[in-house]
Structure 1
Amino acid sequence: MEHCRRKKIKVNRDKLHYKVPEVSYMGHRLTPQGMEPDPNKISEPLRQLLKKNVPYVWSDAHEKSFNVVKELVTRAPILRYYDPRIDVVLQCDASQYGLGAALIQDGKPVAYASRAMTSTEKNYVQIEKELLAIVFATQRFDQYIYGLSAVEVHTDHKPLEAILRKSINDSANRRIQRMLLRLQRYNLCVKYVPGRELWIADTLSCQLPCPRVKPGAFAIKLAEHELAIDLAVTAECLQEYQTTSSQDSELQAVVVAIRSGDWSMPAVAEYTPVKLELSTDGVLVFKGARLVVPRTLRSRVLQQLHAAHMGIEATRRRARESVFWPGLNGHIKDMVSRCSTCAAVQPSQAREPMLSHEVPVVPWTKVGMDFFEWNRQKYLVITDYTSNWFEVKELKSTSASSLVRECRVQFARHGVPLQIVAYSGTQFLSRTFHKFAEELNFEVVTSSPYHHQSNGKAENAVHTIKKLLSKSQMSNTDPLLAILEWRNTPSEATGTSPTQKLFGRRC
């Protein structure tokens, strides 16, 4: 303006644009990042062909304009420098075969990234692919976003908003849980953005770099090993499921439907309601982290689920931990209802609940103990107040010395508790047991005489064990297998099993 004043140049206020971020000048755009070709000028000859009543004649000018536009599209635009003081936005998207991501500040790109999916990743359901795109973006741009108080993530898959707000444990899909764990080191805020506005990441997910090298034998073996760990089965059992699934025409039709996206085949009609939750490794089919069982193995799986002769709801909770097929809940109900062993051993009417003991946070810090007799044999039961895990041991004698000897074995396995709750029997009141308590530094709390209900945790464990032993005897099955199944059955109140609470895994 000073220069105009010295040269006595007058400007029209209505036509003056003052302090604008960019300006067009002689076919170019002048921006803070530098000078760029004006795309409107370059594409002008092509846009003339789109007007009404204009004959479509392709000339040398059109060919030149078309080639220049292609060059601009394939050439990386100007990137801005990263500024740690400015908020960061991650654009993430997944196509059928690739992942794309862009790091954005003030609406301008700082960096781009894309890669092709592996053959295993291509079998993921769409929600897993979209979450994988976020994991890929955070790992690629880790040096920019790690330690930031907030990083806004834009995705065109709306369900991810809710998934990343919930606890990891709220997701039943083991694969999603693993990916969420990898995102825990970042402070992410996921925001849904329509796909038409996510054009950078969308383009990158389709414009892929060179194909990835096919995984070698070691990578394939590692993937199979991880799959066996997730399913908590032996390699031999996994091989049996793979062989049977490959021969099951219905499951193979589901595999084709997952990969093609075409669910119009009659053979997959039962799976259509849960199609968004299904994934495949090419042979096996999964609903989340649960294995879809082939038809020929379903009867055997039902027998395994009901090995402990638990009720309908408990058996269903056990099934929801690992397996799935259409109509599974109904099949469990029919099987339990027809079970003669369960019908013969019906639970008695429950009493009014009493005030509960304080339940510690750490497992095996407070345990209950009790003796019981079944089938003319004496047993000791030790149950954990936190996890409900119990140990049961057949004893030749219920003397104080036998009690101390078995406690040493169990404490060597699980650790010494801080407190033991037991009924007021002579064994627990004896000098031998109290000397043992002083030696290992734990507290002994005994129940009131003639009121064993105050030792309700151990009493309840005794009731459960007797029921398992009776049902196993009637059905001529292994009682240890029944105890194993009970330990792996999720609680109705917490949704987790005693094994998971005590050991953090299934067994």
Structure 2
Amino acid sequence: MKLTEEDRHFTTFITPYGWFLHYRGPMGFTATGDTFCLRGDMALQGVQNCVKVIDNLLLYDEDYITYLHHIHEVLTRCRKFWITLNKDKFVVVTPTVNFCGYNLSGDGISADQQNLSPCPPVLALFDQDLPTVLQTDVSHLNGIGYALLQDHGNGHLHLVQCGSHFLTDAEAHYATIKLEMLAIVSAMTKSVRRAGKLLCVLVPLSRAPVSYPTQEDEFSGVSSAVHLRTVIAMNTVTLSNESSAQDANKILQDLRDAARADPAYTRLLDCVTSGLPRMVTDGDLVLYGARVVVPATLRRRTLSHLHDSHRGVEATKCRARQSVFWPGIDYDIVNMVRAYKACQILQPSQQQESLINDANPTRPFESVSADFFVVTRKACLVVADRLSG
């Protein structure tokens, strides 16, 4: 299909040898396919017993002579409108024909088996009296998959539930043993493990996860280990390498004493106990995810411990996000770091470098720019010509 002269410049493309344009509609151009279908419909308009789907034609009749007349009429129309037919796909007088994914015959219409994907396994109902197996698998580059199965006798495992989700950016950097544990915890909170090569259901799930982690995933499993997380969190903030377990116990006891003496903290504890989402309790303490909610009387001391290495605002915020929480903690960290005179005096000077401009190119591909970027966990290379953009 020829393009009008005034529209040919819209198809211009650049090569190392110069600029080129199309004189006819290029393959893959949306308007080309639409125009092709429209012209084909107009060319065969009025032909009886003719079915056209994009570039597929089907002719049918009740008797042989009429059928041949229709074939002659279609071929005449194709010659008139310069339509070329594929001789390898041209079939005349056949009892069965495959057309648009269906098999047509005198017995009726049936789906083409080659186009049918395998049916997914039917989920079985959970039976608490049957042996249950929870299988998990993890892919370092993609995500987590799990399957809950039950043995219905003679080693026949029936699928009860399965699922998968992508890894977060932080989880993608976990060690393998931590990822395996993460997969187990995630699977157990959603619903006897086997070797990886035997997990026929899980390997595809972990290699091709179908969803991203939800807030429920991020906060699931917290209540099962809140006391351990409390100890670890406070060790991260307050203890040096020489500190002992007795120091940790003393810090936790100070937290509990301060919590019991704080009326606002006590009301928060009652709300969490009544079912406040995204928070759990550990005795007299409240945890926001894996972070300890610090009573008001201990916040200044906690800020001092967070900043004991004098690493700046962002590093201090990052340390706090791993261990402690209270409303407005980021704002308090910014004010504390900026008010610390020694940090302001010794901070590195950020001198802005002058912008260096290269000479403008004079021809296509004389100067190009290239860079790598990652989208949906796939590495891509982008190259741009500086002259044409």
TM-score, with length taken from structure 2 = 0.36
Structure with the higher fraction of residues in helix conformation: 1
With structure 1 as the length reference, what TM-score do the two structures score? 0.28
